[in-house]
Amino acid sequence: MISKIKEEIERAKTIALISHKSPDGDSLGSVAGLGQALMEMGKEVTLFVNDKIPEKYEFLAEKNPYVLYKKGMGKNMDLLFVLDCGQASRLDYSEEILNEAKTVINMDHHMKNPNFGHINWVDTDISSTCELVLELINKLKLPLNYAGTTALYTGIVTDTGSFMYDNTAPKTLRAAAELLELGVDKDRIYREAFQSRNIKEVKLLGEVVKDLTPLFDGRVALSSLSQEKLKAYDLDIQAMDELIDFTRDIAGVEISVVLKEMENGGTKIGFRSKNAYRVDSLARSLGGGGHEKAAGATVKMNLAETEAMLIKALEELLQ
Amino acid sequence: MISKIKEEIERAKTIALISHKSPDGDSLGSVAGLGQALMEMGKEVTLFVNDKIPEKYEFLAEKNPYVLYKKGMGKNMDLLFVLDCGQASRLDYSEEILNEAKTVINMDHHMKNPNFGHINWVDTDISSTCELVLELINKLKLPLNYAGTTALYTGIVTDTGSFMYDNTAPKTLRAAAELLELGVDKDRIYREAFQSRNIKEVKLLGEVVKDLTPLFDGRVALSSLSQEKLKAYDLDIQAMDELIDFTRDIAGVEISVVLKEMENGGTKIGFRSKNAYRVDSLARSLGGGGHEKAAGATVKMNLAETEAMLIKALEELLQ
């Protein structure tokens, strides 16, 4: 497979890279990291995004010329890398690019990736697509510059929670060490991706946790964000990501749950668990999904109904 | 020096280890990590502490038999390791042990360690004393067990903020990789040391950040904790450590300052900086000290006076 990828890269003159919508550190980092290596080789490279870059990753755009994909833009591409994209549908409106490019290479670390590329390299044991890209770069001895190492480091640290999550393996730490040795703008990464809380979110988090009383002998932290509250702080449903991790990390709390009222009246539910309980089955039973320790669902109930339903469901789970 | 340490270990039958008062992950971890290796060698080992073990590090005491030092307990020791202790006076009342033991080996990573041991290995470029201990263990090929690897990993991750701080070097990540490969109870470490916020502190943090308005165009976050507020939440002056990092990590904030009113009416000041400004000179000018990005001082002024004084001083610093 590696030799096939090598052949495709050698043959290609124009190469595009793209990843999933709602970009994160690993999608933006892998596209830029591999893209920089290909640019250093002298290829004509386009780094596509299909969505707004979140504020905390805007620094990556300073050194990496991301282009917003529009229909047809993939037609002149000899080769397309789709990175960190567990399903073709996660490309959203840019899914058409799969038919535009001549050859599609799918590199990913998500479970159940259906191998939608012509060549597929899916490794579910690896921390991040950035770690996988670094493996490719090393195996093919591709050149790596400062923008590239910084992009790859960004993906590794954001997907591992700065090496705190279970997906951190010895080789993950060694990959990070290798990048750090080559030179990485580590201060900038941490400053932007980890040290840039939105002041409005900080204040709303304060309001919520000030009155938080964990349920079930302190084992469950449940917080609800109404539309009214979000609007009072000028925030939308995408905001307040930090709250669920913040409340999980309370002594004694095993599961944290955050409910967000949607504009249509439904409720978005997020679950986090420390170690003792799995939250994925509960999320799946509500039509959602996720991992053992991080899962979610969207239900057609209002906030109060969802709370009542979950308190029953959590009581069963805790038994 | 390594060969001298080797000789001393070989010659010694009874070996004690101790570190600074107000123990942290690196002091407890290095004492236990090296202690476990020496126990595995069949030495008679005593792991001394000279202070209460903080709740978040109590898990280390499950596998490591720490003993509270009392005067005279060092008299039967052929060899004493003093670890992670920048000055002899940081041993507090246990400083006497330096005269009790036959030979003292001082291993540390703090600046300006005055080499108070018979043998001194001070490396100020290394992340943590735990990383230094691992280097010793590797060089002397000492045996390392699960309790030992877990203790050393604890010190490395707590002293580097899970590899976020500047002191994280490629070799730090490789040392962590090596430990992880040997087996480390990583889940437990993160759960106890990083995911165990005190609910009272969470609530008071909420109350404080709910109304926070950064000063100087958002560049300074200043929070004050009165005795009245601390008492209302049943907390003492040691509490609320997290607040200063939490408020530094707001977008746009360059410096965070937390003032705590002391019972005697004075004020304890903590400073954190991202990158743009140094806070150590300001702390020193107030009779305190610290590092470029983390410093502090204690002043004989009340909260309001301290606030007014600091706002002037910060205005100058920001110019």
Q: What is the pLDDT of residue A291?
A: 84
- Same domain (yes/no): A217, A265: yes
- Alpha carbon B202 to its chain's center: 22
Check B210 against A211: CB less than 8 A apart. Answer: no
- Same domain (yes/no): B174, B220: no
Note whether A169 and A204 are within 8 A (CB): no
Q: For residues A141 and A128, give the distance between their C-alpha atoms in angstroms, rounded to a whole number.
A: 20
- Same domain (yes/no): B274, B128: no
Note whether A153 and A178 are within 8 A (CB): no
- Same domain (yes/no): A248, A308: yes
Q: For residues A24 and A40, give the distance between their C-alpha atoms in angstroms, rounded to a whole number.
A: 24
- Same domain (yes/no): A205, A160: no
**What's A246's domain CATH number?**
3.10.310.30
- Same domain (yes/no): B158, B82: yes
- Same domain (yes/no): A20, A133: yes
Is residue A113 classed exposed, middle or buried when 0-12, 13-18 and 19+ CB atoms within 10 A define those classes? Answer: buried
pLDDT values of chain B reduced to their tens digit, one per residue, 319 residues: 899 999 999 999 999 999 999 899 999 999 999 999 999 999 999 999 999 999 999 999 999 999 999 999 999 899 999 999 999 999 999 999 999 999 999 999 998 899 999 999 999 999 999 999 999 999 999 999 999 999 999 999 999 999 999 999 999 999 999 999 999 999 999 999 999 999 999 999 999 999 999 999 999 999 999 999 999 999 999 899 999 999 999 999 999 999 999 999 899 999 999 988 999 999 999 999 888 899 999 999 999 999 999 999 999 999 8
- Report the greatest alpha carbon distance in chain B: 63
As a three-state string, the secondary structure of B61-114 is HHHCCEEECCCCCCCCCCEEEEECCCCHHHHHHHHHHHHHCCEEEEEECCCCCC
A173 touches chain B (CB under 8 A): yes
A209 touches chain B (CB under 8 A): yes
Chain A residues with CB-CB distance to B170 below 8 A: 177-178, 180-181
Strand pairing report for A267-273 and A255-261: antiparallel
**DSSP designation for A70:** -
State the smallest CA–CA distance between residue A209 and chain B in angstroms: 5
Written as one string, the DSSP assignment of A297-314 is EEESS-HHHHHHHHHHHH
B197 touches chain A (CB under 8 A): yes
Token pair recorded at residue A223: 């917080």
Residue B177: which of A173, A195, A249 has the nearest Cβ?
A173
- Same domain (yes/no): A10, A138: yes
B209 touches chain A (CB under 8 A): yes
pLDDT in tens, B78-133: 999 999 999 999 999 999 999 999 999 999 999 889 999 999 999 999 999 999 99
Residue tagged 């990828």 (tokens) = A5
25-64 in chain B: CB under 8 A from chain A: 55
Note whether B278 and B292 are within 8 A (CB): yes
**What's B133's domain CATH number?**
3.90.1640.10
Note whether A152 and A30 are within 8 A (CB): yes
- Same domain (yes/no): A60, A172: yes
State the smallest CA–CA distance between residue A291 and chain B in angstroms: 16
pTM of the model: 0.93
End-to-end CA distance of chain A: 48
Domain that holds residue A91: 2-194
Write down which residue in B156, B172, B193 finishes a domain. B193
Sign of the torsion formed by the C-alpha atoms of B166, B170, B176 and B177? positive
pLDDT values of chain A reduced to their tens digit, one per residue, 319 residues: 899 999 999 999 999 999 999 999 999 999 999 999 999 999 999 999 999 999 999 999 999 999 999 999 999 899 999 999 999 999 999 999 999 999 999 999 998 899 999 999 999 999 999 999 999 999 999 999 999 999 999 999 999 999 999 999 999 999 999 999 999 999 999 999 999 999 999 999 999 999 999 999 999 999 999 999 999 999 999 899 999 999 999 999 999 999 999 999 899 999 999 988 999 999 999 999 888 899 999 999 999 999 999 999 999 999 8
- Best mutation site among A249, A254, A274, A275 for testing chain B: the one with the most B CBs within 10 Å? A249
Residue B197: which of A166, A196, A250 has the nearest Cβ?
A250
Collapsing DSSP to helix, strand or coil, B39 comes out as helix
Rg of chain B, C-alpha, whole Å = 21
Collapsing DSSP to helix, strand or coil, A88 comes out as helix
- Same domain (yes/no): A123, A241: no
Write down which residue in B193, B215, B232 finishes a domain. B193
Query: How much of chain B exceeds pLDDT 70, in percent?
Result: 100
At a CB cut-off of 8 Å and minimum separation 6, what does A313 contact?
Answer: A282, A285
Q: For residues A138 and A141, give the distance between their C-alpha atoms in angstroms, rounded to a whole number.
A: 5
Per the structure, the count of domains in chain B is: 2
- Same domain (yes/no): A149, A169: yes
Write down which residue in B163, B193, B223 finishes a domain. B193
- Same domain (yes/no): A244, A183: no
Across chain B, mean pLDDT equals 96
Residue B162: which of A162, A196, A211 has the nearest Cβ?
A162
Q: What is the pLDDT of residue B318?
A: 94
Check B211 against A206: CB less than 8 A apart. Answer: yes
Rg of chain A, C-alpha, whole Å = 21
Residue tagged 């400062």 (tokens) = A146
ipTM: 0.92
